[in-house]
């Protein structure tokens, strides 16, 4: 079995879906499971729908219709007339979403978020599956929620591996080509859950793990894993091979080309991961596998933007000890902050965080009752793996360095300004 994963960028329009079939010509379709994300930026648009439900009800219907229109246009590009059954099927999915909002009684934002955003993947995979069948690539559409079982931690659900393993093992026997969704699952009450934004790579790994797949291919809008994100760095180099460990490190520090949870399940079963370009499917791309090393051995740069640097010192200039640190971390955990870097000295403690749930002001208020607090908003963390003194110099050029941490393999530099 092999697992292929197509992200939003690869299926953002009809051309993309046609291109997907070109990729399948290269990979073949025997014993293949295809994981597909929501098309283009659909998940972002569905997030707006959720916000409208809570904060601007008058915009709710029009925001849903806009997403429906986007998919209808793709359908019209793929099929010449709207008598194809798929038009009805997609329309029904949007009706389901509208009905959900009509009957929903829950006030829980995260729950409603998950019941909503899953429609992006349901719609995209329905379209891809129908199109492939239509051109003769016979496949079965699988509702991933039937097999990926999770806890009830909506928006960031944890996979329940035993249940999922069981369901995949018995639910997917003897099928040749399967089209399914990334990112989504369901809880014990069969309510929809999601695995965290950008989680489709992880879904591919979950299927691979449970099916003992031979290989996983994720198809991207870049040649493979590069030594830096080409959106922020010039002259990037393709990393032809990587060890699991190095790939885990890169994604941990913020290389968003692979979702951070993807690699562990693959490493456990030693399943190789290929990261390749959906536009050049015959090119080598990146292979991550047992026994491979970083090649070429170049410095790898990772940029995390929009960080908040908080520096704390005790009000009476006493030492910052275990008790303080434990209290600070309890607060960070409570307000769901993502901690990306910490630094402490005798009387101060600094932490670089992301605030995905916009709880910063509440956190600061709490911290101020116990500490002197200084805040730098909108700072960046540059991480260089496999650094050289030249690469550090390049990063520090024209920037105010607020913190610098160096270990044997990694340097992290917190800066105030970004060049680009
Ligand atoms: P998907 O379509 O599967 O969701 P993503 O958009 O999440 O794909 O990942 C591809 C993007 O990741 C690229 O367009 C690139 O901007 C970004 N990226 C970040 N770091 C790297 C890196 N080290 N190498 C390649 N791409 C990277
Ligand atoms: N569609 C989801 C997102 O945009 C999952 C994914 O694409 O990986 O976050
Ligand atoms: Mg993505």
For residue 27, the model assigns a pLDDT of 96
Q: What is the mean pLDDT of residues 226-254?
A: 97
Pocket test residue of 7, 113, 118, 192 for ligand 2, highest count of atoms within 8 A of CB: 7
What's the whole-number mean pLDDT along residues 204-214? Answer: 97
Is the CB of residue 21 below 6 angstroms from any atom belonging to ligand 1?
A: no
Q: pTM of the full predicted structure?
A: 0.94
Residue 362 CA to ligand 3 center (angstroms) comes to 30
- In this predicted model, what pLDDT tens digit does every residue of 126-181 receive, in sequence order? 999 999 999 999 999 999 999 999 999 999 999 999 999 999 988 887 668 999 99
pLDDT (mean) for 235-264: 96
Nearest protein Cα to ligand 2, atom 6: 198
* Ligand 1 centroid to residue 321 C-alpha, Å: 40
The pLDDT, as a whole number, for residue 345 is: 87
Q: What's the CA gap between 54 and 49, in Å, rounded?
A: 9
264-283 mean pLDDT: 97
The residue-averaged pLDDT of 257-265 equals 95
- Tell me the pLDDT tens digit for each residue of 402-420: 999 999 999 999 999 654 5
Q: Indicate whether residue 40 lines ligand 1 (CB < 6 A).
A: no
- Does the pLDDT of residue 192 top 70, yes or no? yes
Please report the pLDDT score of residue 357 as a whole number.
85
pLDDT at residue 141, as a whole number: 96
Whose Cα sits closest to atom 3 in ligand 1?
Answer: 7
State percent of the chain over pLDDT 90. Answer: 91
pLDDT exceeds cutoff 60 at 359: yes
Distances in Å between the alpha carbon of 116 and those of 32, 94, 110? 28, 10, 10
pLDDT for 382: 97
């Amino acid at each position: 079995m092999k697992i292929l994963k197509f992200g939003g960028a690869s299926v953002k329009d009809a051309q993309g879906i046609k291109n997907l079939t070109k990729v399948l010509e290269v990979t073949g379709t025997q014993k293949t499971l295809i994981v597909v994300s929501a098309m283009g930026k659909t998940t972002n648009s569905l997030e707006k729908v959720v916000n409208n439900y809570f904060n601007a009800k008058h915009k709710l219907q029009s925001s849903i219709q806009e997403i429906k229109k986007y998919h209808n246009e793709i359908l019209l590009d793929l099929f010449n007339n709207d008598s194809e059954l798929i038009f009805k099927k997609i329309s029904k999915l949007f009706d389901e979403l509208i009905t959900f909002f009509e009957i929903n009684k829950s006030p829980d934002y995260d729950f409603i978020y998950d019941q909503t955003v899953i429609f992006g993947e349901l719609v995209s995979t329905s379209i891809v599956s129908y199109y492939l069948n239509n051109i003769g690539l016979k496949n079965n559409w699988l509702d991933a929620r039937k097999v990926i079982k999770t806890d009830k931690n909506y928006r960031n659900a944890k996979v329940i591996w035993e249940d999922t393993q069981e369901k995949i093992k018995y639910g997917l026997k003897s099928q040749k080509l399967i089209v399914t969704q990334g990112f989504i699952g369901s809880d014990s009450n069969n309510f929809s859950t999601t695995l965290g934004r950008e989680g489709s790579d992880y879904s591919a790994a979950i299927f691979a793990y449970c099916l003992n797949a031979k290989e996983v291919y994720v198809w991207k809008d870049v040649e493979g894993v590069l030594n830096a994100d080409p959106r922020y760095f010039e002259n990037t180099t393709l990393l032809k091979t990587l060890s699991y460990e190095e790939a885990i490190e890169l994604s941990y520090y913020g290389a968003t080309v692979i979702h951070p949870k993807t690699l562990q399940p693959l490493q456990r079963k030693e399943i190789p991961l290929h990261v390749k370009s959906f536009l050049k499917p015959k090119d080598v791309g990146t292979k991550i596998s047992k026994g491979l090393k970083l090649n070429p051995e170049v410095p790898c740069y990772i940029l995390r933007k929009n960080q908040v640097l908080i520096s704390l010192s005790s009000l009476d200039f006493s030492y910052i000890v275990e008790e303080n640190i434990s209290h600070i971390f309890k607060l960070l955990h409570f307000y769901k902050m993502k901690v990306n870097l910490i630094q402490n000295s005798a009387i101060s403690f600094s932490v670089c965080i992301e605030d995905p749930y916009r709880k910063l002001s509440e956190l600061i208020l709490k911290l101020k009752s116990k500490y002197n607090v200084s805040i730098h908003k909108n700072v960046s963390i540059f991480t260089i793996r496999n650094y050289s003194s030249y690469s550090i110099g390049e990063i520090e050029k024209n920037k105010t360095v607020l913190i610098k941490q160096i270990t044997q393999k990694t340097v992290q530099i917190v800066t105030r300004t970004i060049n680009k």
